[in-house]
Amino acid sequence: MTVTGSKGRRARLRAETTAEIKKVALALMASGGPDAITLRAIAREMGMTANAIYGYFATRDDLVTTLINDVYTALADAVDAAWEAAPATDPAIRITAWATAFRTWAVVNPQGFRLIYGDPVPGYHAPEGGPAPDAARRVCTGLTALAAAAWPHTQHLYEDSAFGWSDFDQGLLDKVRPAFPDLPPAAVALALRIWGHLHGLVSLEVYGHMHTQTTNPEKLFEEELVQLVQMLGVPRRS
Partner DNA sequence: CAATTTACTTCACAGCGTATAGTTTCTTCA
Partner DNA sequence: TGAAGAAACTATACGCTGTGAAGTAAATTG
**Residues of this chain, 100-139, that bind its own copies according to CB under 8 A:** 114, 117-119, 121-123, 126, 129-130, 133, 136-137
In degrees to the nearest 10, what's the CA dihedral of 8, 13, 16, 21?
-140
Residue 236 touching DNA (CB under 7 A)? no
Q: E strand or H helix at 131, and its extent?
A: none
- Residue 139 exposed, middle or buried by CB count within 10 Å (0-12, 13-18, 19+): buried
Choose the stretch contacting DNA; rule: CB under 7 A; options: 52-60, 105-113, 143-151, 202-210. 52-60
CB distance 89 to 235 below 8 Å: no
Question: In 3-state terms, what secondary structure has residue 48?
Answer: coil
**208 binding its own copies? (CB under 8 A):** yes
171 scored as a contact of its own copies (CB under 8 A): yes
Backbone angles phi, psi at 4, to 5 degrees: -80, -5
Helix/strand/coil for 89? coil
Q: Is 233 exposed, middle or buried (0-12, 13-18, 19+ CB in 10 A)?
A: middle
- Least distance from DNA to the Cβ atom of residue 38, Å: 3
Residue 33 touches its own copies, criterion: CB under 8 A: yes
For the CB of residue 18, give the shortest distance to DNA in the complex, in Å.
9
Q: Which residues bind DNA (CB under 7 A)?
A: 8-10, 13-14, 17, 37-41, 43, 47-52, 54-56, 59-61
Q: Which residues bind its own copies (CB under 8 A)?
A: 33-35, 114, 117-119, 121-123, 126, 129-130, 133, 136-137, 140, 157, 161-163, 166-169, 171-172, 189, 192-193, 195-201, 203-204, 207-216, 219-220, 223-224, 227, 230-231
